[in-house]
Chain A
Amino acid sequence: MSQTAATSLETAERRRAIALAAPAFLWTLGFFVLPFAIMFVLSFWQRTDEGLVASWTLENYRTFFGETAYLEAALNSIEITLAVTFFSVLLAYPLAWIIAEELPARYRRLALAMAIIPFWTSYVVRSYAWTLLLAKRGVINTWLSDWGLPVLDLANSRIATVTGFTHFFTMLLVLTIYASLVQMPPNLKRAAADLGAGPFATFRHVILPLTMPGIAVGAFITFAICIGDYVTPQILGGGNDLALPQLIMLQVGRRADLPMAATLSIILMIFVTIAYLATARYMKVEGR
C-alpha cells in the first residue's frame, strides 16, 4: 500500500471515529457541560429584592463558610454519605460472595434478580416503606412492645436515613462486587492454597485486592448518588438532620435564591469531584 493510500485510510478512520463519538460528545456538552457552566456562573450572581443581579461576587460562598448551619448541613451530608458507603460495602461484600462463590450456578441469576428488585420501586415508596417499619407504632416497635421490650426512637433520625440509604446501595454494590468476583480466575485461589495460604490469607492477599476495583467503583457511585439525594433524608430524617440537598431546596423553594442554590450545588459537586479523584487515584495506583 502506498503512503498516500495509508494516510487517506487513517484520515477516513479518524473522521469515522469523530462521527461516532460526536453524539456522546454533544450529549455531554448539552446536558452536562453547558448546564454546569450556567450553574457555575449563577453561583456568583446575587438575589436582591429586585430579582437576580448578574455579578461576579463571592458573597454566596462567603455566606456558606460564614454560616454555621450551612457548614453543619455539609458536614451532615458527608457523615451520612460516608456511613452509608461503609455499611453498604460491609453488607454487600458477603452477599456478593455468597451469590458468586457459594450459591449453585443455577440460582445465581435468580439471586441477582432479587438484588435488583428494590431498584424497581421509587425512592419515595422505599422511604415510606421504611417509615412503616421504623415508626413509633411501626412493625419493629410493635414486636419490641409484644416482647415487653422498650420502644425505640428509630424513625425521623439519622439512623433511619442511613438504614434507608444502605438498603438501596447495598444492592447496587452487590452488582459491582459480584462482577469483580466472577471475573477472578479460579486457579488463583488454588495457587494460593498450593503455596500454603489458608482461607483468610487467600482472601486478604489475593481475593480482596482483586475485587477492590469493584468495591471502589461501587463505593464512588454510592457516594455520588447518596450525597445528592433529597428524598430519603427528607422522609426518613424527619427534618432532624439538615443535609445539603435540603438546604439547596430551601434556597429554591423558600427564598427563590437560585444563585445561593447554585453555590451550594457547586460545593456539593466539589465533594463528588474529590471522591472521584480519590477513586481514580486509587484505581491508577492499583492498575500499575
Chain B
Amino acid sequence: MLKKVSVALAITTALWSNSAHSQELNALVWCDHTDDALIKPFEEKHGVTVNLKEYEGTGAALSLIEQSQPGDWDVLVIDGVDVPRAVSAGILGELPTDQLPYDSLFPELVMEENHVIDGKTYAISEKFGYNTVSFNKDKVSQEDLADMTKLWSGDFSGQLAVYDYYLPVMGMLAVGLGKETANLTMDDLPEIEEALLALKDSAASVGEVVASQTAIATGEVDILVGGGEWVTAGLTATNPELDWMIPDQGAVRWSQSIGVFADSKQPDLALEFVKHVLSPEGQAALATSSCYWAMPANSAAGDMLTDGQKTALRWDQQSEYLAKAQLYPAPDSELDAAMQDVWTRFLAR
C-alpha cells in the first residue's frame, strides 16, 4: 500500500512540476544559450519554461525548421551573415527597434546591411568574436604566427588542428591571401582551396567546437586554426598557457544574431526573451557561457563582468581587433554550395 502511495505521489509530483510553467517558449540556439545563468532568470520572471534546441551551422537550423510545423519555434539564434537568408525564406519576423538597446550596442555590431531589409529590422546582434588563431604560448610564439600563410606552409606540420566550419576557416584563409571576405567570388576558390588542402596536410585533426577545444586544451595540438577567444577565454584559469591572436593579415569576425520567428504563436513573449538576452545581465551570462566565451554585443554588459572576465575577453582591445577583422563571408547559394564542395574535399583529403 505504502509503495502504491509513494508511486502515485511521485507521478503527481512529476506532473505538477511539468505543468508548473504551463507556457513554453521554444528557441533554436547555439550551445552557449543553454546555461541556467542565462535561462533561469527569464523563466522565473515570466513563469514560463524555455525549451532549447541546440544546433551547429545554419544548414542544420534550416533543416530543423523545414521539418517543423509553422508556430513550433519562437526564437532563433543565427549567424549574423545568414540573417538575410532566413528573412528571404520567411523565417524571421520584424522586430520593434524602439524596444531594443541600440544605444549601447557596439557600433560595428549594428550591422544594418544584415539585419535591416526593405526598411524593416529582423534581427539584432547578441554576441561576437573572431575566428583566428588560438595557440599554446609555451610551444609557439606570437611572432611565429604573425604571418598567417605560415599556417599552410608546412612549418607547423602535425602541430595544428582546424575548426570544422567552412565559412570562418575559408574566410580566414581568404584574408590571409589578401582577399576581402565580402567580395569573394567563384574565381577566388581555387587559390583558397590550394591553401586549404596544404593546411590539411599539416593538420593533426579537424573537429567541431568541443573537439577543437579539447585538442588544444589537452596538448594534442599547439595551434587551432579558426580558434579565438571563444576557445581560450573560458580556459584561462585552468590553461594559462593558451592564448589567441590576430595575424598581421587580419582575421574573420563572427557574430550571432537573435530574432523572433515570423510564425511564432507568442511573439510578445519571444520578444521579451530577445530583450532578456540583450540586457546587461543576459549579455554577461551569454558572454561567459560554459560552452564558449565571447564578446557581448551590448557594451552595457561591461558593468556586469569582472575585471578578470574582461581581460580574458580582451575588452579594452576590441577597437583594434574590430579594425583588423573582416566579417564572415556571406556567399550566395551558388558560391555557398561551391565552398561546401571545397570543404568536403578538404575533409576527404
| Chain A residues within CB distance 8 Å of chain B | 49, 51-52, 67-70, 72-73, 76, 135-137, 153, 155-156, 235, 238-240, 242, 246-247, 250, 252-258
Q: How far is the CB of B140 from chain A (nearest CB, A)?
A: 15
Q: Among B20-28, B113-121, B199-207, B303-311, which stretch is in contact with chain A?
A: B199-207
Does B60 touch A at the CB level, under 8 Å? Answer: yes
Are the C-beta atoms of A254 and B166 separated by less than 8 Å? yes
Which residue of chain B has the shortest Cβ distance to A258 in the bound complex? Answer: B63
B348 located at the interface, meaning its Cβ lies under 8 Å from any Cβ of chain A in the complex: yes
What separation, in Å, do the CA atoms of A4 and B62 have in the docked complex? 65
Minimal beta-carbon separation of A3 from chain B (angstroms): 57
Q: What's the Cα separation between A254 and B161 when bound, in Å?
A: 20
CB of A281 to closest CB in B, whole Å:
32
- B347 contacts the other chain (CB 8 A): yes
Residue contact B204 to A153, C-beta cutoff 8 Å: yes
Contact of B66 among A51, A240, A246 (CB under 8 A): A51
Smallest CB separation, A30 vs chain B (Å): 19
Contact present for B205 and A240 (CB under 8 Å): yes
CA distance A72 to B345 in the complex (A): 9
- B340 x A254 contact (CB < 8 A): yes
> Which residues of B approach A to under 8 Å, CB–CB?
56-57, 59-60, 62-63, 66, 158, 161-162, 164, 166, 203-207, 211, 215, 218-220, 333, 337, 340-341, 344-345, 347-348
B218 touches A252 (CB 8 A): no
List 29 interface pairs A-B (beta carbons < 8 Å), by A numbering.
Answer: A49-B333, A51-B66, A52-B66, A68-B345, A69-B341, A72-B348, A76-B348, A135-B218, A137-B219, A155-B204, A155-B205, A155-B220, A156-B204, A156-B220, A235-B211, A238-B204, A238-B207, A239-B205, A239-B206, A239-B211, A239-B347, A240-B205, A242-B344, A242-B347, A252-B59, A253-B56, A253-B63, A255-B337, A256-B62
Besides the contacts A156-B205, A250-B340, A252-B59, what 11 more A-B pairs have beta carbons closer than 8 Å? A68-B345, A69-B344, A69-B348, A137-B220, A153-B158, A155-B220, A156-B220, A238-B161, A240-B206, A250-B344, A256-B60
A255 to B164, CA, bound (A): 14
B340 to A255, Cβ gap below 8 A?
A: yes
Q: Contact: A255 with B59, CB < 8 Å?
A: yes
| A69 and B347 contacting across the interface, CB-CB below 8 Å | yes
Please determine whether B333 and A254 come into contact, CB atoms closer than 8 angstroms.
Answer: no
Contacts of B341 in A (CB 8 A): 67, 69
**In whole angstroms, what is the CA distance A246 to B211 when docked?**
15
- Alpha-carbon distance A28/B32, docked complex (angstroms): 40
What residues of B have a CB within 8 angstroms of the CB of A137 in the complex?
A: 218-220
In the assembly, what is the distance between CA of A136 and CA of B348, in Å?
23
Inter-chain CA distance A137–B220, complex, in Å, is 7
Residue of B nearest to A48 (CB): B333
Residues of A within 8 A of B206 (CB): 238-240
Write out the residue numbers on chain B whose beta carbons fall within 8 Å of the beta carbon of A247: 344
